[in-house]
Structure 1
Amino acid sequence: MRVRDSALLECGVLTELLAEAGAVGFAEEEGVLIAYIPADVYSPEAVESVVGNFDGVAVERCECLPPKNWNELWESNFTPLMLEVGGRTLRIRASFHAPTVGGEELVIDPRMAFGTGHHATTRLMLEWLLGLPDPIESCLDIGCGSGILAILAAKRGARRVVALDYDIWAVENARENAALNGVEGVEVLHADLHALPQEQFQLMLANLTKNLLLDNLERLVATVRPGGLIAMSGFYEADALALEKAASSLGLRKERECTAEGWEMMVFLRTA
């Protein structure tokens, strides 16, 4: 789609609304926004309803892409990632990369699921987990994707880790990655935000969109014990204030925030 207002692309509102309409990926080329929507969820009416909110935005064309070997594509683009926080290092690699000599590592084969650490939202969460001074007792990872955050929590000493995702491909991939890293104790559930575990955790990890966080924050808070932490990301820096206000109204106190590439990550303490 042609977007005449460059500020509209930069603020992220258009991509966020298209994501709610089913888009799972985006690319920008000189004022043209390319949105990728799976064929089984694509709705011309939903896309047009988004575009109709903005002047100077028009859908130029819609085409169905031929099947691709997505595994081959991500393998060709997935380079190992090195993180360093407070003297601790973590190398994230795929199973086809050479093993790390010394230091910590995560082995992640993302396949059809999101999460290699290269995207700013995942990287911010990983860096925070890596820098935690004390072991984690229990952790709930919401929208786990490849399982990368849950696996690091387990490697940081969490005795109980539950990860969930509504996408069955992500669930299977997270289980595979947990086994690759020797943390088979990570429990991966096929569930959505309306079927959260009936228990409370010391830490919740929620790398979700702004609207998913706002719409479900009360039920998310209920799964964190008093004195526990909620780390959330997946939203733009411009959306942080709305989330902070919602969190404060539910008795959460902001402990930390950081940004990268326009994306935000915040950590809240449940005070009661």
Structure 2
Amino acid sequence: MEFITIKVTCDPVLIDVLIAELFEVGFDSFQEFDNGFEGSCEQEKFEQEKVEILINQFPNVSFTIKEQEKVNWNEEWEKNYDPIIVGDRCIVRASFHKPQPQYEYEIIVTPKMSFGTGHHATTYQVLDYQMSLDHKNKKVLDVGTGTGILAIMAKKRGASSITATDIDDWCIENSEENFALNSVKDVRLIKGQINNVDEGIFDIVIANINKNVLLDQIGEYSSRLRESGQLILSGFYENDIDDLVVEAENHQLKKLRTTTRDNWAMLALEKRSV
């Protein structure tokens, strides 16, 4: 499979914004640097005109685009990846990093082309919230699982049943590998959308995707959530919180908590009949 790689040079404050914008037009794998980032997109999804219009909205940003075959992301990641510490209780590291047993939770991640290693503020915030949420003997659904990292945390927190979905072949492959690295077994992994999930009602539903998808699918999430169950959403900006809360209320979902990090947000909701 051939890919399009874009290399963007920009002010560091623009990195998260540009990554989010490129994610919306088909890019689904990113690697950050001090002065910018690289992103990859399947060639068949690439629309150069859209990308140029998008990036040209921002001042002092330069970029180059090239075609390439599948690359060894393990090797590339090893050159640039540092462990992530979440809330002083969790470390997310690669297999080539030394174990650090002083942390309560250790998650080992090997990259392919998928999203969600804990570096991004959205994944970080969900992991942080999961450490305060009771998962013991709970049935969990992770929509858009990416690397599988949030499903892995759910298992480490005591979930009894986990279903994870993604629409991307790379994410399915990567999450399978990461489940094995973390000795996480018996996860029902589905390649497809939320409407392909037929495992009944869940205690916890997690969706770290983007605002438009969340708004479109929030009714589906609610219909699969038991009374008093929790829905955890991320992948959107702080100024999008109100729009999501309003839509959530149309589906019997009430806001419990929000957090923000680097202008990105996490929203926890509870399903209530009244």
Paired residue for 1:23? 27
Residue 187 of structure 2 is aligned to residue 183 of structure 1: no
The aligned runs of 1:22-41 (5 Å cut-off) are: 22-24=26-28, 25=30, 36-41=40-45
1:107 Cα deviation after fit:
1.3
**Secondary structure at 1:194 match in 2:** helix
Which residue identity is paired with 2:194? L
Q: Mind listing any 5+ residue stretches in structure 1 that lack a counterpart? A: none
Pair 1:33–1:159, CA change in 2 (3 A): closer
1:17 Cα deviation after fit:
4.9
**CA distance in 1 between partners of 2:117 and 2:55 (Å):** 31
Paired residue for 2:93? 93
Deviations 1:94-113 (A, max 9, x none): 11222233433111112222
The aligned runs of 1:226-241 (5 Å cut-off) are: 226-241=227-242
**Secondary structure at 2:233 match in 1:** strand
Pair 1:106–1:50, CA change in 2 (3 A): closer
Paired residue for 2:3? none
Asked which structure has the greater CA Rg, the reply is: 1
TM-score, normalising length from structure 1? Answer: 0.83
Partner of residue 83 from structure 2, selected from 80, 84, 92: 80
Paired residue for 2:126? 125
| CA root-mean-square deviation | 3.1
Pair 1:207–1:64, CA change in 2 (3 A): same
**CA distance in 1 between partners of 2:238 and 2:247 (Å):** 15
TM-score, normalising length from structure 2? Answer: 0.82
Judge conservation of contact 2:208–2:235 (CA < 8 Å) in 1: yes
Judge conservation of contact 2:135–2:154 (CA < 8 Å) in 1: no
**CA distance in 2 between partners of 1:77 and 1:91 (Å):** 17
Which residue identity is paired with 1:265? M
Identity among equivalent pairs (%): 34
1:59 Cα deviation after fit:
10
Paired residue for 1:196? 197
**CA distance in 1 between partners of 2:177 and 2:19 (Å):** 31
**CA distance in 1 between partners of 2:150 and 2:100 (Å):** 19
Paired residue for 1:251? 252
**CA distance in 2 between partners of 1:268 and 1:179 (Å):** 31
Judge conservation of contact 1:81–1:92 (CA < 8 Å) in 2: yes
**Secondary structure at 1:115 match in 2:** coil
Judge conservation of contact 1:15–1:26 (CA < 8 Å) in 2: no
Which residue identity is paired with 1:42? F
Judge conservation of contact 1:136–1:202 (CA < 8 Å) in 2: no
**CA distance in 2 between partners of 1:95 and 1:60 (Å):** 34
Judge conservation of contact 1:214–1:243 (CA < 8 Å) in 2: yes
Judge conservation of contact 1:151–1:186 (CA < 8 Å) in 2: no
